[in-house]
Chain A
Amino acid sequence: MGPSISSNLSVHDLDKNAVETETIQSAAADQLTIGDHVLGSRLILGTGKYDSFEVMQASHKSAETQCVTIAVRRERLHDSSGRNILDFVDTSRLILLPNTAGCYDAETAIRCARMGREILTGLENPGADWVKLEVLGDSRSLLPDPIELLKATEALVKEKFQVLCYSSDDPIIARRLKDAGAASVMPAGSPIGSGLGVLNSNSLSIILDDLKRGDPDYPVIIDAGVGTASDVAEAMELGFDGVLLNTAVAAAKDPVAMAQAMALGVKAGRLAFQAGRIPKSRYGSASSPEVGVISKKPQR
């Protein structure tokens, strides 16, 4: 009996290893496609708010991200001797995603997008053809102005930009943005930099369901508001294709460690989404057999 059991066990272990290897491989091949761009990581990080360029660079590395956002701002004309952020972004490994952060109307956001494209063209960076479009409607909440956002999206799509729209969590504006030709719709989990996480999972689920109906590969990314790794996992479990975040890593006590935690959160959430969670039930369901129990069941 002894040897037979041990040989059974080893066969079982072999099967288990085969399954595990397969799962890891499929996770490795799990790429995120947005427009023409294919990313090996579903986590997009920012380049703002870090204490130093060195910490930023180490955080990008630790998250194994392949895409980072970057902002367009006035050149400092009297002090151009300062260090350049581009010296700390490994553009051989990372694609840049220029944003229109801080724009409050369609016209300014369109100008900002064109300038971002001009700079990235000069740098010969493949990110020249896309833009993270941000058109804000309020300087306290930093929530998007949906009407200006839609106007800017329509204009930039005409100019052959691949537009990734930072949007509110309203399913109707999300649909309008996709219909206008957005390469991706990126609803906020909560206000930018708030760390409040996923506040309206019902609306976000409706957005996912609606934008992916008949078009399951359409990329929908959660952008803004996440505070920690569980927020990221929660968003990925809802079915988001990726996460874009900045503050939660850059302003963490240990940004390099948080970057790794976020990467693991993305992977865990993605795997759980693909694996398919069990339905929620009001009552319990025993894991051990109900028959052969040596105790009597109470009547109620």
Chain B
Amino acid sequence: MNAVNDRLPRLLALVPYLLARPGIPIEEAAADFEVTPKQLRRDLELLWMCGLPGYGPGDLIDLSFEGDTVTVTYDAGMSRPLRLTAAEATALLVALRALAETPGVVDKAAVQRAVAKIESAVGQARPAGVAVGLAVREAPETERVRDAVSDGVRRGRALRLRYYTPSRDEITDRVVDPMRVLLVEGRGYLEAWCRAADGVRLFRLDRIDGVEVLDEPASPPPHATPTDTSEGLFHPDPSQRTAVLVLEPDARWFAEYYPIEDLEELGEGRARVRMRYSDTAWMVRLLLGQGGEVHVEQPPDLVEALVRRAEAALRRADHLPST
């Protein structure tokens, strides 16, 4: 966030904030405004110089400091914060409405009460123009998995998962220490410390085939940090390999689903792209299903593996059994 443009909104909010909390430690106030205590002190010194025309001792904002705490003794008429802007009201209310419509996140009634109170407080700043549906497309079995997993998170218990890993096409059992359930881009994930992998992992809920809430407590190690979702769930890994693909017009959707780089238009709707992948077997599986709408140019071992597997599949399909 831009520190320069944040200062005036903070200055306008500070006096009413302190009025509502007489004797608050400066450190606590700084944390609420997400600035350093040093910056907050500078803000307070500035406010101390402001006031009403006349600008005499009785006209200026007055603060009293005691130890590391602060109290407003004269507010110069700035007793309430400024209204929410349309953008602020939209960001908050749209998010609240989205939460209200999502089962298992928070108490729906509490969200609706919060929405009603904030709507009536913001007055004319009506939100409009943004809507968010958090609902995910999930099968009934996934819903049951989500309930069980959320239960484990809530009660702080370790979980035994039966998990399908598509890159290796295998199902394995493992014990994990759950941290939270994430809903991102229309999919549900369990974020947990995986004891076998010795690291934080995201497990797609629709790939969990079985879940058992254990009696032992969940104990992710202190250095297990939540995934930063702001740059996407999966970060390019320098150890990954890169394939060069040419997408036919009908396969342009590919670019919306997979991590592609350097899109080069070839005309008539075709495009050459680079795509990162970590597992050749997974990549071969993906490409087999594209029916020639995706051409593979590089690397040679990927091309070779693809050809070998496609030929073997065709040979076997042609040996139709006598049924």
The answer to whether A and B belong to the same complex is no
